[in-house]
A and B are shown apart, each in its own frame.
Chain A
Amino acid sequence: MIILDPRLQDAITIFLAIVIEATPFIILGVLFSGTVGAFIKDEWILKFIPKNRFLSHLFTAFLGLFFPVCECGNVPIVRKLLEKGFSPSQTITFFLSAPILNFVVIITTLTAFGGSPIVVLSRFAAGVLIAVIVGIIISFHPNQESFLTPLAVELCEHDHSHKKNYGLSQILKPQFFTSFLKEFWEMENLLIVGAAIAAGVQVFLSRDFVYTLNTHPLLAILGMMTLAIIISVCSTVDAFVAFSYAKKFSPAPIVAFLIISPMLDLKAMSMLLTTYKPKLVGLIIILVISLTILFSLGLSYLGY
């Protein structure tokens, strides 16, 4: 039997745990997005999107309620929404809000923080608000398509240049299976990269640093945000992790953790690179971090 250094062994265990946990959700997400593509006509969805810039992003922010998968399963859906004619900025709003406005996440957050309504309300309000603001900012770019990877451009152009058929027959065609495998392969590769980074950082960096930063509201907020990125826990359970810090931290840094954790998850961000160029992913990270700090500082200013 191979005996490894305990920390290296833990890193491997956590790496495999992330992959084993997330892979079925990727399979589900890819299947779900393929099924949406086969049954739901592009024009049906587009008919529902409001024309107004703010309302259209608000609309996509709430779409997450209909897609009960976590951040890993959301990436294939983001690609499908792009294919269906959503703009990149709208899909970014969806990507950011869906892991928060999700029934499972709502239930787990209420279970952990039911006794602290400010934390629950702030998480969902800030989640939607930040997702909408980031989407709207990106929507002002004159050429949003320049943010797409060549593969994503090909995906969108291919679909719109043909008259498509819909229905059950579509999911029995070879194309459905081969595109499933192609998409699964791409997502899995980047999930593995994100999982390896998350596992390494989680094992080799001590979590104790957050306690030493709990001396000033801004430092505490930054500390909890960093912790959220480091541990990259699935959004469906991150409320329980945050709860273990609730005794020592005020609500503002806890809310910062609960906003950042689903939005800037290392695994999901890695997978997002299959669709968006690094410059857009970088912009999203900067905007989300800035807005979360602002929101959390506001809460702190109000005495929370």
Chain B
Amino acid sequence: MNNKITNKLFQIFITLAISAYLIRLYITGANAYYINPGYFKFNLIMAVILLIIVIATFRWKLGKIRILSSLPIIFLFLMTLLPPQALQASGASNRDGGGTTGGSDEANVSPLLSRDTTTLRVIDWVKLKNYQTDLDSIKGQLVDVIGFVYYSPDNSDIYAKDNLLIGRYVITCCAVDANTYGLEVAKISADGTDLSKKVSSNDWVRIKGSWEIVTRDNTKFAIIKATEVTKVDKPQFPYEQ
């Protein structure tokens, strides 16, 4: 097999593998670990276009490619052989935006105010808390959320050090822009259980409870007093939008 044919087959094989990988992610739903669902169809269309072009190219002469400058694409090929994984909860505190988010204006928050509070997600509560000028308005409201457990960084001036956080990554475009949004949960639950002994960092949990308002350094903070904490499987869509 001469060098040019080897190059051509190599180039076509790798490009086919990339398009097949993108299509496979769409079919299996593993795209959700990497990008916002809003891009799923666009990705599929572009992958199919790539596939068609590669197949069409098969009968035509391709220019020479240098193996050395193609090492990155070989690296990509190897990475695609690994099982798809979402971002780990262990990096959550490094991505914690401190509870500030866009979309906390009246237009976005109004629909949330009329909903059963137990249907609100982590990001919905973050928006609601940002919107409220007086946190007392959510005092006593029921919470039922699913997320992973993490702890705030030691230097945080937003969360109490001992309390745990139930968080979700929120992505706008893809995992690279993931920000963590967390809700503070009192270390001691309503029935007196020390939650830090019941759940650990990275565990996916469902927490039911209600909001309590506490004051630290003359500032009010909303904290969940848990009534029920159960470990759950990681959801199919691990990120919120």
Q: How far is the CA of A260 from the CA of B20 in the complex (A)?
A: 35
Residues of A within 8 A of B95 (CB): 207
> With A9-B88, A13-B34, A21-B39 in contact, do A189 and B70 touch (Cβ < 8 Å)?
yes
Cβ-closest chain A residue relative to B46: A24
Is A21 within 8 A of B174, CB to CB? yes
Q: Is the CB of B70 within 8 A of A177?
A: no
- Give the size range of B's interface with the partner: 35 or more
Contact among B22, B54, B155 with A181 in the assembled complex (CB-CB below 8 Å):
B54
- Find chain A residues with CB under 8 A from B18 CB: 23, 188
Asked if residues A203 and B46 are in contact (CB atoms below 8 Å), the reply is no
Chain A residues with CB under 8 Å of B190's CB are none
* A-B contacts, CB under 8 A, total: 165
Pick from A39-47, A54-62, A85-93, A238-246 the stretch touching chain B.
Answer: A238-246
Q: Are B175 and A178 in contact (CB under 8 A)?
A: no
Determine whether the beta carbon of B175 is less than 8 Å from that of A13: yes
Q: Is A304 an interface residue (CB 8 A)?
A: no
Q: Let me know if B177 and A233 touch, CB within 8 A.
A: yes
- Residue B50 at the chain A interface, CB threshold 8 Å: yes
Please give, as numbers and ranges, the residues of chain A lying within 8 Å of B84 by CB-CB distance.
16
Instruction: Check B173 against A178 for contact (C-beta < 8 Å).
Output: no
- How many residues of A are counted as interface, with CB atoms below 8 angstroms from the partner's CB atoms? 62
**A202 interfacial contact with B, CB 8 Å:** yes
Known A7-B90, A185-B11; judge A198-B100 contact (CB<8 A): no
Flag if A184 contacts B50 (CB, 8 Å): yes
Query: Contact flags (1/0) for A1-27 with B, using CB distance below 8 Å?
Result: 110001101101111111111011001
Chain B 16-48: CB-based contact to A (< 8 A → 1; otherwise 0) = 001000100100000101110001001101110
Query: Hey, what's the 0/1 contact readout for A153-188 against B, CB within 8 Å counting as 1?
Result: 000000000000000000000100110111011001
Q: Say yes or no: is B53 at the interface (Cβ < 8 Å to chain A).
A: yes
**Is A188 a contact of B80 with CB atoms below 8 Å?**
no
Given contacts A6-B91, A17-B35, are A233 and B50 in contact (CB under 8 A)? no
Q: Are A196 and B75 in contact (CB under 8 A)?
A: yes
> Which of B15, B72, B101, B176 lies in contact with A17, CB distance below 8 A?
B176
Instruction: Tell me if A199 counts as interface (CB < 8 A to partner B).
Output: yes
Known: A13-B34, A17-B34. A208 touches B173 (CB 8 A): no
A51 at the interface (CB under 8 A from B): no
Distance between A246 CB and nearest chain B CB, rounded to angstroms: 7
B176 engages A23 (CB within 8 Å): no
Shortest beta-carbon distance from B91 to chain A in Å? 5
Chain B CB within 8 A of A237 CB: yes
Of chain B, the residue at the smallest CB distance from A203 is B91
Distance A243 CA – B102 CA, assembled complex (angstroms): 7
A222 interfacial contact with B, CB 8 Å: no
B176 lies within 8 A of A198 (CB)? yes
Question: Contact at B175–A193, with CB atoms within 8 Å?
Answer: no
Interface set, chain B 43-65, CB cutoff 8 A to A:
43, 45-47, 49-50, 53-54, 56-57, 60-63, 65
- Bound together, the chains give a CA A192 to CA B54 distance in angstroms of 20
Roughly how many angstroms separate A247 CA and B79 CA in the complex, as a whole number?
38
Q: Do the beta carbons of B70 and A185 come within 8 Å of each other?
A: yes
Residue of A nearest to B173 (CB): A237
